[in-house]
Chains A and B, each alone.
Chain A
Amino acid sequence: MRRYLSFVGVGACAAATHFGCAVALVSFFAWSPMYANVGGYCAALLVSFAGQSRLTFGSTQAGVTEFAKFTATSLTGFALNALAYATLLRWTSLDYRVALLLVLLGVAALTYLLMSRWVFLQPRRVA
């Protein structure tokens, strides 16, 4: 349970970082909102990686390989989000808010699985 809570907490912190950085880049550094979104995403990716690797999955040796896998998971999650949302909107009569909630929950669950089974998978120690 603690791991799930940590996963959600780090995700929330990353979202706040994404938002805060994007707003700061636009309002203080005169970036265009489109580019600022990318800047915010990059900052959030770092926060998310640090948090999920250390706090959620207790990986003390996360390095470049893990970060590459993490980024791939994150980008896949984003692509899947867009695709699944478009599909639900096009092929079902679900309210857009319900559809978005389903997609967010589904993608979060999938991301969690990918992180625990692939990105931060620790080799089993033989006693």
Chain B
Amino acid sequence: MNEVQASRRVSVCVDDFGLSRASCLAAIELAARGLVSAVSSVVDGEHIGSFASELQSSQQTCTLGLHLNLTERSAFRYTSSLRMWVARAAVARLWHRRLIAEINRQLDRFEHLYGCPPAFVDGHEHVHQLCVVREPLLEVLGWRYGSQIALRSTVPLERRGFKAGIIARLGGYALRDAARQRHIAANRDFAGVYDFSTRIPYEQHMRAWLASIADGGLIMCHPELPDDESCASRARLAEFEFFLSPRWRALYEEFNFQLTPFAAHS
């Protein structure tokens, strides 16, 4: 029997939409061409107002999610560094009420911008999985959407480097388990973590991730378009160039995967 192995479903998600003009332009272009399958938005981003409607037109091939932001240029009064959020775990109960309000505010803003609830939620600098944020987030999502939206898990099924391991240990496992208990969908595998240096070509990273990622996995990315007004990092520019090149499309077949929008029922 000549059986063809079914292709894996992999989501590729652009993070940070709204934070810079360069990230908005890159996400819009890649989403419009069907080269990525999800975009995660920072709803207080300086540029979100100008670009949200353009991104909305890509919703047929691409799902839109909330990139919960508590660490950078947010309208939240208690915005602070990731380290401070990690430390706040010691007094997590004190933050519960404030975070419930803030998460609701960001979800309301998302719905106002896009006219629909997010298909998924993740966090800027993975803040959504931290002990202090996780519980209020799961509560709010349960109240508002039941199990209709997906959550990003940062747990890799295989070893994908030291940094990826640290991220998963900063609440990733706990979030994955809590989401399972509450029947909230999450990606089964996670990749896309690297040191944002161009020492190793981005294509080489992507090949390694695609070679090992499981069906239902998600690869995060941070492409930015070369732009006079924003100063994107070289690594982010390299990501954009790679996704736009024929090399990216060639990998679909080589690694036998299907680009799949990230959502609860994908």
A residues near B (Cβ < 8 Å) are: 26-30, 33
Contacts and interface: CB of A to CB of B under 8 A. Distances in A.
Q: State the main secondary structure of chain B at its contact with A.
A: helix
Interface of B: 77-78, 80, 84, 87-88, 91, 94-95, 98
A29 B94 contact: yes
A27 B91 contact: no
Contacts of A28: 84, 87-88, 91
The 7 closest A-B pairs by CB, nearest first: A30-B94, A30-B95, A30-B98, A29-B94, A27-B80, A29-B91, A27-B84
Contacts of B84: 27-28
B78 A26 contact: yes
11 contacts: A26-B78, A27-B80, A27-B84, A28-B84, A28-B87, A28-B91, A30-B78, A30-B88, A30-B91, A30-B94, A30-B98
B78 A27 contact: yes
Contacts of B87: 28
A29 to B, nearest CB: 6
Contacts of A29: 91, 94
A27 B84 CA distance: 8
Contacts of B88: 28, 30
Nearest to B92: A30
